[in-house]
Structure formats: structure tokens, C-alpha cells
Structure 1
């Protein structure tokens, strides 16, 4: 549903030169192709939508209102239809259902923290035992609720420094202390010189904090460029009715562990493109409009070739690197999750390994031989990961092509959002935050492999990307262990 709304927005951006016709056509074709296995869409709606997506979409064309109307109709019944199809006993992979449902709820405006608590309560604490269709019907009811009103207080550690009267949303230090005490917070532990008391409409308290934080960041930008005064806000937000402070700090899960493994955290030397990419990656936890520009700039700095007519191939190259790194990363994680309190022959072998390559090879062989795998803690996500590895063993080339395709879509969406922000000035594009949610950790994973090759072997990023493309194209099913060495 979000991708369809993104398409409608993209069509409107073409006349101004913000996006190209080819970018819109690519998005429409990808959407048409991915509609096939989506059981949340009725067959007649799917056929009509695919026909509309196959026609040239232009602003003020007759097809555009039809796509918009169809999107709203499908959105209204998406999760309920998934529930109905599963109740009928259709054959579908559990992880496909999980991705469809979770992404739909996230794209509807719910925060990951809220959804985790909502689901954990029903699976662990509720006295009711849910069948999956019943759980999905509850998710459908949740998605159809209207946003709620939240009052959010964000403290500021320095005065505004204004000559005239402050805005109505501004509270002085005494007013902030009184509000905190009235709402059950310990005001003595809060260092502040005032704060912003905002009323926002949001799906849940965590989303309300994010919206309030974005509003204050916009106000801070105006204050900085208007009077040269920098606003320093606190690290927590306070929501009426929620007795615990909620953190403001973002973490979009960008990790380049090779910097530590190769002892390059504080290395100094001649500047390189790789170093420039690290500086840009550091901005991925910044406000969305900054993060989307910096994230794409990091990709472009490393993987644009001199003869590229468009910039989007840089994202496609990074997607190939992500796909090649996926098997070893997943298997290494699975090896580390072997039960530490339940000694087993496999665990003992894992502890003797001296490299991640050895651990991942050992884990892959254990999965291939269907050995018992003792896990530590909840096992559902571990079992899903093992199922992915079993699929890789059966057809490594096809499965890695799927992984590459997911990454391509994530990076191309990031590129479109970057263009909407930088060339169209759209700071509230519909897919802006979703693009960062999915692309940021993938960027970190891909650039981690670039950093490893650069620091350890002196391999240029473009050279590594060419190797990744070549290895993916030549990977054969009869040599499954070869998928651990695609970037070596």
C-alpha cells in the first residue's frame, strides 16, 4: 500500500524534473510483479491494478485516480483478507506472512516499539490462545483505528534567547517542572531550562514522540538560521499518560564492524572515498531529510562509475554486495546463538573455530546434515533463519537473487526519496521514513564489506562490486559452500 502511494507521488514529481519517467516506469513494473504472491489483495483487484500499472501513468491522466481509489479500497481490507486466506488453509511461507503484516502495520504509522509490545502481550501474557487468523483480524482492527491525540513534552537545556514573547507551545522552566510533577514524573532528575509542550496526532506514544521530535527539529533549524541560536534538547520525551520517559535518540542500525576488526577506528592517513563514506554514514541517525541525502551520498561516493548515465546503478552494485555477504553473516550469527548453557558437540566445535569463515562453514554443514541445533532463549527467529539457509542450500543462485532484488528495491527507493528531498524540497514524502528504516542497516552491511576489502586487501569498491556481480551470476547449486566465499 505504501509503495502504491509512493508511485502516485512519484508520477506527480515527473513534470518538475524531480524524478524521471524511467524511474516511475521501473517502480510501476516492480509493483506489478510483486503483487502476484500477495494474498492481501483480491484477485480481481490485483488484475485491475496490474492493468493500470502497465499503462503510461501521467499527472491528470484517467488512470491515476483509479489507482488512488483502488489503493484505498485494498488498504481497507488488506490484513482482514490475509486472515481470511489463512483461515481457508492456503499454502504460504510463514516469513512471507510476517513481512506482509509487519510492514503494513509499520507503514500505517505504528512504531516498532509499540508493535513489539502489542504482539508480545498477545503471545506471552494474554490468557487467550490465538489462531493466526484471529491474531491477524486483531491486527486489522488495530490498523483501522484512527490516530489518537497525545500531549508530548520535550525539554530544552538552554533558554531560547528571544527578544519578543515566546510561542504558545513554549513553557518556561517552572511550568515544565509543574507539568512533569502533575503527570507523575520525577522533575528533580530532569535538567532543563524550559520545553516544548506539543499536541500531536499519532498511532501510539512512541510515534507521537517521533512526530513531536521532528517538529522541534524544524523549530530548532529556524531558530539557528533566524537568530543564530542553537537549541539543545534533552535526551527524553515525556508523554501524558505514560509514566516512563521515552528516549529521543534515533538508532537506524547502521553498523560497520570492520572498522574495529581491522583496527581502523582511530586510524589517520590520506583521505579516501571510503573515509568520506564513513563521515556520511554518521549522519544516518540525523533527521530524515539529512539522513536520506547522506545515505545516498555515501553509496554514490563509493560505487558510481565514470560512465554511468544515471546514479541508480550505484545502489544496484551495493545490493549485489549485500547479497554476497548475506550467507556468511547469517550463518555467523546462528553459530553465535548456539546454546551456551546446553553443551553439545556442535557448540564445542564452534568454540574451537578461530574465524567467522570457519564458524559459518561449520554451521552450514550442520544445517545441511539436519543436525540438532540447541538454541539459547526463544527459537522462532532462529528457526526462520535456518529455513532461509535450507533454501539457500537447495538453490543458492535463485535465493541470493531474491535477496539482491529486495536490496535493489530498498536502495532505489532511497534514491527516489533523496531526489524528492534535494530536487523537489519534499520533506514529508510518504515513503521518506520507511526508506530509511529498510535501507540504513543494508547500507551499513554493504559498506562493511567494502571497508573490509579496502583495509585488508586494498581492493577498490567498484572492483569489489564487479566481483560480486560476477560471482552471483556464476554461482552453481552443486557447490553450496561457494556462497561463503563470494567476496573473497
Structure 2
């Protein structure tokens, strides 16, 4: 439901719905996505990290930093409870957490309480007419909580598209109903194969294997059509909140099946049909998982997508990061982090918090500096007045030789002069509001954005350590880590690739430039233009 104010501009509810639509749309550009997890899952990650510190997979310094970051996250979060509960949480976050000690037990009790009433607290906050939450903050908190609870983006995107609500409080109520009516349940998943050759004994002895006759009957009853002759299939029962997440569980099983097959001397061949089937849904799901949004479009624009003859540091990093889109979770996390470290660390780099933290923070800085131009460029293309105005005329003069930088600069000047863009999509109105806030307070706003980026990049680094040093390939927080950070890594790689191809700048030079320009935003005489933070 679209709601507007008397001025014709969208009201808070409309903007919140638009942002939820952005967060749940798998095709949203990186600068409009969720960059962080919700408070409850973040605290669960902290609780798990306590145990990983005991195993010496994570350092005590990492645990302390994560606790401080979560204290920052809970500050403006209305779902964190009243003053008394917040004080209890703050006391635990500032305590010495060790596996099984009193502080750790208290943390787990607080997590349970926060989770139980989280959305209800946001409903109460939305009913406060004197201090209602901002649409952006409301949408980020509610959206992250639903995704962290185990819903797929596609399921939630369909849900939010069909909502009929009159207020933010109603929206929170509907989110509570969604959680209550879609509890995790079991799904039967079938992975049909044309053949599993060279190792019939192992195949037939596996409890999940189903012969061709059974598979044909299963598919017929499910009203699914598969082209080709069936040789059998593997059937599994998985637990998920919706069929899309059940399919993702199935994809992870296929990843493990194919990995196991490589350990046989017989060169076992698994010839699948490229699909899996979830019982109750006739349309099969593709085995290849949807991309995670790691795009490096500079390679396309500069016609370097297939330029693989040279073995530069950038080429190596792009190869390492390739699994982030379609690879298994463990290879995506380890490869993605390796790409970041390859590009953004030099032999003489030192940091009190460690070299990995240094690489994460450098990637966060240059990605944060990419955000203003990305938002403003998209807005410049969305400006479509019925009668051409001054901005439209300026854009038309640029046509043919304009750059994203030129268009973004004009859009920024227009908004900063107090003008409104002529927009059609609610998502663009929300973007315009974010740019107004940025232009009014550049240093504070980009500082907040950078903190989100730092959280995401350090989370990638932590989970790489858990995968590589702890053998943790099936943590609840791994999928959240990739959902939030994969598009950001793509954005960072895109800027690094552009700088290398067009400006002949190295990644560490670009990161230094980003850090300097972020600091100079506080200057009254030396502050760079927001569209030139990486120039």
C-alpha cells in the first residue's frame, strides 16, 4: 500500500515498505542493501565466539571488539528493550566473557528475552507519536530480524509486496504474525540424477538414495516435469521456514555430494539435471544458487572482462573472489577474504589489532567512499520531470560525454539547494532522503556508513578464520555473513579494478586516499566533494 503526505511525498510507512522491498529484493544494488545483521543474531554470534576463543580459533581481542560493536548496534535499537534491560545487556557486553561463566550464561538469557519480544518492542516504539522511529532505522531492524530468523529473501519479497498495512505499528504486527505462522518445518527435497556412475555399491548403500522407479513416482505425484531419463536420485529431509530456504539447504547438500565424489579412485561421475525439487512445489529449483551480488562492473565497462592473459595481483584476487557469487559457503568466505587480503596488505604493514583487521578496515573505507556516488548516480537517472527542469536540461547537455561523476555531482548540487527530484519509485524517494542527510552532515553520516562497512568486513575476516582454522563450515552466521558482505566486496573490488585500469592506482594507494578523504570531511577548507572521495 502506497501512502503519501499532503505534499505528495511518501510518508514514513511508504518509505519503510520501500526499504524492506530493497532489502528483500535479490537484485537490489549493493548500496541499497542491508549491510549488517540484526541485534539478536549479532549477540548469538558473540555467544558462539566466546567458545571459539576457548578453542583459540578467535583471539580475545576479536571477542572484545565484537562486544563493543554490538554495544554500538544496540544503542539506537528500539528492540533492545527498556533502560533496565539495556543496562543488563551493556553490563554483560563490558564484562569478561568466558565459555560457561556467569557473564556468558547471562548473555544467553538476555538473548532469549530479546528475541521473544523484539518485534513487539518495535511495535510499541512505532506507536510513540512524539518520537516515532525513522523509516530507515525501522526497516533495517525489522528486515534484518526477519532475514536472520531464517526466511529467504524471495519469500520475504513476495510477503512485503502483498502487505496491506496502515502504519508502522501494523507493519510490525504483520512481521510478528509472519514469524509465528511460519515456524521452521521439515521439507522433503529430491535431487534427481541421470546417473551416478562407477560406484553403484556406495550409491545403493546410502540411505538417501532412491531408485529410478521411486523417483519417477515422486516426481509424478509432485506434478513436476523433468526432461530426460532418470537414473535415480537422493532424497533428504531438511528444516527451513520456506521452500526457497529448503532449496538452499538442498544446494549445500549437493555441494557436499560432489565434493565427496572426488575422493574415490573410480572417478565417480554425478550427472544431474541441474535442478532439485521440493515436495509440494511443482516448479523445480535450479541447482546453481542465485548470485550473491558480487559484481565488478568496471571490468565490463572497460572491456576487460575476458582479459586474463596477465597474472597481476588484481587478476589473482578476482579469481579468489569468484566463488562469492555461486560457490559453496565455505569456499565463498575463504576465497572472498583471500581476495581482500591479497589486494590490501603489503609486507611492511603493521597493526596492533592484526594485519587482517587492517585489510578489513581498508576495504571498509574505500567501499564507504563509493557509496555517495553510487546513490547519486542512480538518482540522477531516476529524475524524470514531466516538464524538463534546470537539472534535466543540465543532464541533457552532458548526454553523450557524461560520466557517472558528472551526473552524481549535478544531482548532489540539486538536492543540496533544497530542490526535490522528480521520482517515480518509492525506493528512489528513500534514497533521496538518505542523500539529504548525507549532504547536510557528510562526516557524521559517512562515519556511520563506514562503521557498518567495518562490521561487515571484520565479520568476513572472523568467519574466514572459523572456516580455515576451526573447520566450521555450517555455522548459522555463515549465510548471513555472505548475504551482507558479498555485495560490499563486489563494490570494493569494482573500485579497485577501476582505479587500476583507468588511474593506474594500486589498491593500497586507493585505500589511503579513502581514509584521508574521510578524515578531511571534518575540515572547513579541505573537505573533498562527496563524488570525488576516491579521486
TM above 0.5: yes
2:382 to 337, 349, 367: 337
Residue of structure 2 equivalent to 1:299: 340
CA contact (8 A) 1:57 1:64 kept: yes
Residue of structure 1 equivalent to 2:458: 412
Residue of structure 2 equivalent to 1:126: none
CA contact (8 A) 1:420 1:429 kept: no
Deviation at 1:383, TM superposition (A): 1.1
The equivalences for 1:175-214 within 5 A come to 175-187=214-226, 189=227, 192-214=230-252
Q: What SS class does the counterpart of residue 31 from structure 1 fall into?
A: helix
1:149 to 164, 186, 210: 186
Q: In the alignment, is residue 114 of structure 1 matched against residue 192 of structure 2?
A: no
CA contact (8 A) 1:14 1:20 kept: yes
Residue of structure 2 equivalent to 1:383: 429
Residue of structure 2 equivalent to 1:373: 421
1:224-269 deviation per Cα after TM superposition (whole angstroms, max 9, x unaligned) = 2145324343333222222322333231001111112222112244
Deviation at 1:69, TM superposition (A): 1.1
Deviation at 1:80, TM superposition (A): 1.1
Q: Report the more deviating stretch, 77-86 or 240-249.
A: 240-249
Distance 2:396 2:488 in 1: 28
Give the aligned length. 479
Decide whether aligned partners of structure 1 residues 464 and 77 sit closer, same or farther in structure 2, where only a CA change above 3 A counts: same
Deviation at 1:321, TM superposition (A): 0.2
Distance 1:62 1:252 in 2: 39
Q: In the alignment, is residue 322 of structure 1 matched against residue 370 of structure 2?
A: no
Deviation at 1:99, TM superposition (A): 0.6
1:170 to 206, 209, 212: 209
1:111-150 deviation per Cα after TM superposition (whole angstroms, max 9, x unaligned) = 0000111111114xxxxx4432122122113224521221
Decide whether aligned partners of structure 1 residues 73 and 477 sit closer, same or farther in structure 2, where only a CA change above 3 A counts: same
Distance 2:172 2:136 in 1: 14
Q: What SS class does the counterpart of residue 266 from structure 1 fall into?
A: coil
Decide whether aligned partners of structure 1 residues 347 and 244 sit closer, same or farther in structure 2, where only a CA change above 3 A counts: farther
1:67 to 103, 107, 114: 107
Q: What SS class does the counterpart of residue 533 from structure 2 fall into?
A: coil
CA contact (8 A) 2:521 2:528 kept: no
1:375-429 deviation per Cα after TM superposition (whole angstroms, max 9, x unaligned) = 34xx221111101100111111111111111000001011111111110111122
Residue of structure 2 equivalent to 1:462: 508
TM-score, normalised via structure 2 length:
0.85
Tell me how large the CA RMSD over aligned residues is. Answer: 2.0
Deviation at 1:305, TM superposition (A): 2.9
TM-score, normalised via structure 1 length:
0.93
Residue of structure 1 equivalent to 2:296: 256
Decide whether aligned partners of structure 1 residues 10 and 208 sit closer, same or farther in structure 2, where only a CA change above 3 A counts: same
Distance 1:265 1:403 in 2: 30
Q: Report the more deviating stretch, 224-233 or 28-37.
A: 224-233
Decide whether aligned partners of structure 1 residues 49 and 233 sit closer, same or farther in structure 2, where only a CA change above 3 A counts: farther
CA contact (8 A) 2:520 2:528 kept: no
1:322-351 deviation per Cα after TM superposition (whole angstroms, max 9, x unaligned) = 1111111111111222349x4633445434
Residue of structure 1 equivalent to 2:412: 364
Decide whether aligned partners of structure 1 residues 252 and 191 sit closer, same or farther in structure 2, where only a CA change above 3 A counts: farther
